[in-house]
Amino acid sequence: MDLGKAHARLVAGIDTTPEIRGAFAAHPRHRFIPDVIWPDPTGLPLIRSQKPHAWARTVYTDDAVTTQANDGGAGTVNTPTSSSSAPQVMADMIEAAGLGPGMRVLEVGAGTGWNAAVLCELVGARGRVTTVEVDPGVAEHAERALSGTSARVVTGTLHDAPGSYDAVLVTCSMNRIPAELAGFLAPGAAAVLPWSPDPQSHSTPVVAVRAEGDRLTGGFVREGSFMRSRDQRPPAERFPGLGAAPDAVGTFEAASDEVIDSGAMTPLMLMLPGVRIGVGMRPFDGSPRRIVYLGAPDGSWAYLWPDGALTMGGPTGLADRFTAAYRTLEGAGFPALTAFHLDAAPEHGLYRVSAEEIGEWVHEADRPASG
């Protein structure tokens, strides 16, 4: 494979501004990807020296590439712990941050260093890019890959002064926004980060917020599925209701496939803070089918099945909350994710989510937004 041509094709497929596309073009992806990558949840890693063509094909897909599994250790399942994000996701986050020449930019999560190199290109010689990485091995790789750029790589904790940055981009997901992170923002500066109210959720939509006094306020930009910030990883928990007989069985107004395909899953997650909601596979009529599952910290649970049946158990009416939220979305014509807004007060540990299209629905969080 001609890697130069492969990179040109990858860049040509990114839907973004000419400036951002040009910054990607200046830094070929393969120069930042380690020689060992993990293309599958199970199985052996892909090693460049052994399978160079397969390695190159994986690198030059338009998807994320897992560059570390299991925090650098072994495991029966390759749990991603560092990656090169999908180029379109990177471009959308960069565009949402409103970057330009001369800006001071902080990246949280250096990963391969590719994103930081693109940022350096956009801010130019008068700008400054700092990328901070908690994993020493990942940071060392990023620093080598970024040799020849102006990026500064910091391993561990960042100790820069408050208000040091005109934009912050976070490449790991959070369910609370640390006050110290918000403190790095200059007045009016943007922070673009993957966020979700529940630490167990696989949906981590990207939000772009700006500092307004002691608050961070802004809209959701796009869907996302990012690895958790290492200091916010949830403990392994058995899902409520797994293998349990239901306390009650009802009928929902839509089947599981209809709910999943409606685009409502992430809005429902935003409307049900404290509820773990996702898509699972269960046997149904002799074959595996998709279901919607919900679980709450008090042990309440509900499953929505392909025939519209709703099985449930536990002390609280989780199915009722799910039904009310879904009907609200349905009544508003299933507004897009970009209709939702986040308002967070890191110093006070509060957040709320709202959307004008559903009548300024607001939920004041039970779980803190900061740590």
Name the stretches of the chain with pLDDT < 50: 366-371
> Quick check: pTM over 0.85?
yes
Per residue in 198-223, pLDDT (tens digit) is 777 889 999 999 988 788 999 999 99
Per residue, the 3-state secondary structure of 311-326, as one string, reads: EEECCCCHHHHHHHHH
Per-residue pLDDT, 307: 96
Q: What is the DSSP string of 258-294?
A: HHHHTT-HHHHHHHSTT-EEEEEEEEETTEEEEEEEE
Per-residue pLDDT, 313: 94
Per-residue pLDDT, 251: 94
- Gap between the Cα atoms of 302 and 270, Å rounded: 17
The sign of the CA dihedral 301, 303, 308, 311 is negative
Per-residue pLDDT, 345: 86
- Gap between the Cα atoms of 103 and 95, Å rounded: 14
Residue identified by tokens 């999943």 is: 260
Tell me, which fold does domain 3-171 have in CATH? Rossmann fold (3.40.50)
Catalytic one of 82, 83, 84, 85: 85
Element (H, E) at 250: strand 248-251
Domain boundaries, the chain: 3-171, 248-331
Residue identified by tokens 């970057």 is: 99
- Gap between the Cα atoms of 283 and 78, Å rounded: 25
Residue 302 DSSP SS3:
strand
Burial of residue 231 (number of CB atoms within 10 Å: 0-12, 13-18, 19+): exposed
Per-residue pLDDT, 363: 54
Q: Which two tokens stand for residue 153?
A: 């790589």
Per residue in 118-168, pLDDT (tens digit) is 999 999 999 999 999 999 999 999 999 999 999 999 999 999 999 999 999
Within a 13 Å sphere around the CA of 286, how many CA atoms are in the beta-carbon half?
A: 0
Burial of residue 292 (number of CB atoms within 10 Å: 0-12, 13-18, 19+): buried
147 part of the active site: no
Contacts for 83 with CB less than 8 Å, ≥ 6 apart: 64, 65, 66, 67, 68, 111, 112, 227
- Gap between the Cα atoms of 167 and 278, Å rounded: 32
Per-residue pLDDT, 360: 57
- Gap between the Cα atoms of 191 and 219, Å rounded: 11
Element (H, E) at 143: helix 136-145
